[in-house]
A and B are shown apart, each in its own frame.
Chain A
């Protein structure tokens, strides 16, 4: 029989500073993403990586999606971790550009520094959100709540007396045949 747990004292989580930081990062993602999407060409030429214009645009789309995610989610934790992953991708790409002979190395280094700075913020924020969500590790064990009078294995098929109504039967053609089907001559329906 089910035991009824009575309601316990209840508090909503306070709107902490991690959430505020997350919102800020969400807006940052949106603005940066839009800049990358619509200014991919000038950004690529500023960095001296003209061939990467498409990639910059794709990264812009990613930023916009992350921004929307952070701003629209009740719990933005996963999305802020998504930003961290995105940062890693950005850093890797910029790192590659540093090895590109044609790139403006001083500008790429500047961009690298900026992304690294934001990465620190992202990690701090994601960590704080994760810690905050970790609830006191109370386990609820419902392994005694079967709702059945006997162990499940003994209850299997106890309702086979039930006849499935005609409109809910699977089409006969899809039913496993008891005898192998003769090609070209359908078995009569069962």
Chain B
């Protein structure tokens, strides 16, 4: 089959590899009908996440049709239409039973490695680093799904792939980002990053009833899409983020702040700390560029919440924890517990409360994936979200 494989910084290739096989009784193989490129893939593409190996198959936003099942699978049959969450879950460990699926204790086959780096293991993830199990991803014609009896979301016919695909990641991610803000009707929610995750967070915060949703980015078309979803845009290249946020909240600061940017904050002379971070990254004194975290900690209203879906990888410098402590801020973060939200979100899609396909700007064949990584990363051609069609 054909698959997109990682070979190093900026080097993704579409190559022919062996078809996946059933390896365990709880496995299933799905024929991929649609998959997408995520901002998290860009951290791998730019090689800021450790633990990738040459030839790894990318992709963790995948859906398709079951074509083969392992001997112990009872709740799936050949022909079923499924969306695959990016987190692989056993459904039985204590964390899974609590709904903390992204820290499932059993599915990471490199649990020891993860424990060395993070103190404890986290769940296995598709198409991500070997720290999370090194499972081949779904930017391919076929995908092996381990623990498939729990690691799936059954979806009905009658809705298009494009409306359902994002249940795999970005819709639940934006949703959880807003949910963990515990939004009150009086709240201002400020969201950094108008990428796909930010777009989903904007709609979620609005639906959950925020009084005011503000979005911060510098890409005009992303800001225009954010505005379409009801957000007030701030272009950080044109205006001072802190000043504007204080203006819009009459000096009090937003009660809830969401970081939908992560470790690759834009490097710009307007934010000198990012220039320093970039230099430190180059000489391996720091792994991430936490400009957005610094800004949120500073501007958030005392007793507010910082919600961090944006991905960070390692060690961060000059974090104003004094502000967090003295203002009594709450920080909530984590990879998304996808399956915790998907039943509810599928219902909302079916009822027409939201149609997540609005975010798609490019639909191409799998072979064109490598160029699309570059287009998406560099925000060329108005690109916000890419869907790949392997068949």
A interface with B by C-beta (< 8 Å): 1-2, 4-8, 10, 12, 65, 68-69, 71-73, 78-79, 81-82, 85, 135, 138-149, 152-153, 155-160, 162, 164-165, 167-171, 174-176
Contacts of B207 in A (CB 8 A): 155-159
Output the least CB separation between B212 and chain A (Å). 10
Most buried by B among A69, A139, A170: A170
Contacts of A147 in B (CB 8 A): 199, 203, 228-229, 354-359
- Can you show 13 pairs from A to B with CB atoms below 8 A apart? A4-B362, A4-B387, A79-B275, A81-B269, A140-B220, A146-B228, A146-B358, A148-B354, A149-B355, A155-B207, A156-B206, A157-B208, A174-B303
Q: Is B368 an interface residue when CB atoms closer than 8 A count as contact?
A: yes
Contacts of A12 in B (CB 8 A): 374
Output the least CB separation between B330 and chain A (Å). 6
Give residues 155-193 of B contacting A (CB, 8 Å).
162, 179-182, 184-186
Q: Is B58 an interface residue when CB atoms closer than 8 A count as contact?
A: no
Contacts of B208 in A (CB 8 A): 157, 159-160, 162
Contact with A along B255-286 (1 / 0, CB 8 A): 00000000000011100000110110111000
Q: Contact at A1–B282, with CB atoms within 8 Å?
A: no
Given A1-B355, A72-B282, A171-B330: A143 and B227 interface contact (C-beta under 8 Å): yes
Q: Is B51 an interface residue when CB atoms closer than 8 A count as contact?
A: no
Contacts of A139 in B (CB 8 A): 220-221
Contacts of A170 in B (CB 8 A): 181-182, 305, 330
| Other-chain residue from A5, A79, A81, A167 in contact with B382 (beta carbon distance below 8 A) | A5
Given A69-B275, A141-B221, A159-B209: A5 and B186 interface contact (C-beta under 8 Å): no
Contacts of B375 in A (CB 8 A): 10
Q: Contact at A156–B269, with CB atoms within 8 Å?
A: no
Contacts of B381 in A (CB 8 A): 5, 8
B interface with A by C-beta (< 8 Å): 98-99, 162, 179-182, 184-186, 199, 203-204, 206-210, 220-222, 224-225, 227-230, 267-269, 275-276, 278-279, 281-283, 303-305, 328, 330, 332, 340, 344, 348, 352-364, 368, 371-372, 374-375, 380-382, 384, 387
CA distance A12 to B373 in the complex (A): 12
Q: Contact at A146–B209, with CB atoms within 8 Å?
A: no
Q: Contact at A65–B276, with CB atoms within 8 Å?
A: yes
Contacts of B362 in A (CB 8 A): 4-7
CA distance A1 to B359 in the complex (A): 10
Contacts of A71 in B (CB 8 A): 282
Q: Contact at B229–A168, with CB atoms within 8 Å?
A: no
Given A82-B275, A147-B357, A155-B207: A4 and B221 interface contact (C-beta under 8 Å): no
Contacts of A156 in B (CB 8 A): 206-207, 209-210, 230
Contacts of A152 in B (CB 8 A): 206, 228-230
CA distance A118 to B353 in the complex (A): 60
Q: Contact at B179–A164, with CB atoms within 8 Å?
A: yes
Besides A156-B206, A170-B182, 20 other CB < 8 A contacts? A5-B362, A10-B375, A65-B279, A73-B278, A78-B269, A79-B275, A135-B380, A139-B221, A142-B224, A142-B225, A142-B384, A147-B199, A147-B354, A147-B358, A152-B228, A158-B353, A159-B348, A165-B99, A170-B181, A176-B186
Q: Contact at A148–B182, with CB atoms within 8 Å?
A: no
CA distance A96 to B305 in the complex (A): 50
What are the 8 A-B residue pairs with the smallest beta carbon separation, nearest first?
Answer: A152-B230, A140-B382, A147-B358, A157-B209, A159-B207, A142-B225, A140-B221, A72-B282
Q: Contact at B221–A142, with CB atoms within 8 Å?
A: yes
Q: Contact at B361–A5, with CB atoms within 8 Å?
A: yes
CA distance A139 to B304 in the complex (A): 37
Q: Contact at A69–B328, with CB atoms within 8 Å?
A: no
Given A4-B360, A159-B348: A146 and B278 interface contact (C-beta under 8 Å): no
Q: Contact at A2–B162, with CB atoms within 8 Å?
A: yes
Q: Contact at B359–A2, with CB atoms within 8 Å?
A: yes
Given A1-B357, A68-B283, A82-B269: A148 and B229 interface contact (C-beta under 8 Å): yes
| Other-chain residue from B203, B269, B283, B332 in contact with A148 (beta carbon distance below 8 A) | B203
Q: Contact at A164–B364, with CB atoms within 8 Å?
A: no
Output the least CB separation between B182 and chain A (Å). 4
Q: Contact at B225–A145, with CB atoms within 8 Å?
A: yes
CA distance A148 to B344 in the complex (A): 17
CA distance A168 to B281 in the complex (A): 33
Q: Contact at A143–B182, with CB atoms within 8 Å?
A: no
CA distance A79 to B279 in the complex (A): 11
Contacts of A73 in B (CB 8 A): 267, 278
* Minimum CB distance partner of A146 in chain B: B228
Q: Contact at B279–A68, with CB atoms within 8 Å?
A: yes
Contacts of A165 in B (CB 8 A): 99, 179, 340
CA distance A162 to B208 in the complex (A): 8
Contacts of A10 in B (CB 8 A): 371, 375
Output the least CB separation between B383 and chain A (Å). 9
Output the least CB separation between A52 and chain B (Å). 23
CA distance A168 to B276 in the complex (A): 35
CA distance A85 to B269 in the complex (A): 11
Contacts of A65 in B (CB 8 A): 275-276, 279
Contacts of B227 in A (CB 8 A): 143
| Other-chain residue from A82, A153, A155, A164 in contact with B182 (beta carbon distance below 8 A) | A164
* Minimum CB distance partner of A7 in chain B: B364
